[in-house]
Amino acid sequence: MKKEDFYKNHDPLLLNALQNATVAIAGAGGLGSNCAVALARSGVGKLIICDFDRIIASNLNRQYYFADQIGLHKVEALKQTLNRINPFCEYEIHNVKLDDLLIQEIFEDADLIVEAFDAADQKQMLIETWAECFADIPIIIASGIGGFGNNETLKQKKSGKMFLIGDEVSDVTKGYLPLAPRVSVVANMQANLAIELLFDKFYKNNIKGRNRYVFAQ
Amino acid sequence: MFLLNNRPEEWSDNLSIKDLLERKNYKFKMLVIKINGKLIKKSEYLSAIIPPKAEVQVLHLMSGG
């Protein structure tokens, strides 16, 4: 496969912005694995992916892994899959449990952070570290991805450079079990927003360049 | 008065984030709270005092991912 064939259907203007970008993804579960696949297909130049878990059978109902990958570290398996999809991007993986110090070290060169943790306290730790060390780059948080149906409750909120996507209600520890459709919808909403923000950053909000992507009202 | 998630809320002297969460009965353990755009850490909920006319934002963090 040739690189130019892979990117044949990509807009050169957008692809240029994405190829020059680095996105850090904190967590490689249902959100992180699906988001990483979408960003790799889109052509983001470099993905930094962190997780400490190994794949178990119950992950396969929503996470982008395969039965023959059970037992592998998630970041190793995801890197294999991403390279099978788009070998023309760089995938930097870290098999670690992130804490504030590791985040500062590993995410230093990122243009954007995708929060893809499972536990709410981990989400909070990442947000506090981001606010202290990376507040000048955007962070895209997911909150409320459990259950099924209820498409209309999924929304995006913005507060400065912090974005939150989800329903803000369905906590998996309160019985809203996560299933593939809703988790991957949110993961892909995160990826979709990431692409938009990277485009705007690269072209410094040049309206002329962006006009072609703005849909008629 | 101050704004809580864009809705007017009664202000009182020395109102901390902790007081506000109790008043509003916010039971979720994990929240993202901003006063005038500045993130307030969980360890600062007791000491962070809401100024009059402030814009306070409270977002809920749900487990799952």
DSSP type of residue B49: B
Cβ contact (<8 Å) for A128 and B59?
Answer: no
pLDDT in tens, chain B (65 residues): 999 999 999 999 999 999 999 999 887 778 999 999 999 999 999 999 999 999 999 999 999 99
pLDDT band for position A10 (50/70/90)?
very high
Q: Which among A130, A185, A133, A190 is positioned nearest to A163, based on CA atoms?
A: A190
Tens digits of residue pLDDT in A55-74: 999 999 999 999 999 999 99
Cα gap A144→A156, rounded to integer Å: 11
pTM of the complete model:
0.94
In B11-30, the residues whose Cβ lies within 8 Å of chain A are: 28-30
Residue percentage of chain A with pLDDT more than 90: 91
**How confident is the model at residue A217, as a pLDDT?**
47
- Record: fold of B2-60: Ubiquitin-like (UB roll) (3.10.20)
pLDDT band for position A204 (50/70/90)?
confident
Instruction: Provide the shortest C-alpha distance from residue B38 to chain A (in Å).
Output: 9
State ipTM.
0.89
Closest residue, chain A, to B31 (C-alpha): A124
Cα gap A122→A130, rounded to integer Å: 12
Place of tokens 């996560």: A178
Does residue A128 have a pLDDT over 50?
yes
Cβ contact (<8 Å) for A172 and B63?
Answer: yes
**DSSP tally for chain A: helices H, then strands E:** 8, 7
A148 shares contact with chain B (CB less than 8 Å):
no
Place of tokens 């809320």: B9
Cβ contact (<8 Å) for B60 and A143?
Answer: yes
- Domain locations in chain B? 2-60
Residues 6+ apart with CB under 8 A from A188: A34, A35, A38
Structure tokens at B50: 């809401």
Cα gap A10→A114, rounded to integer Å: 23
Closest residue, chain B, to A166 (C-alpha): B62
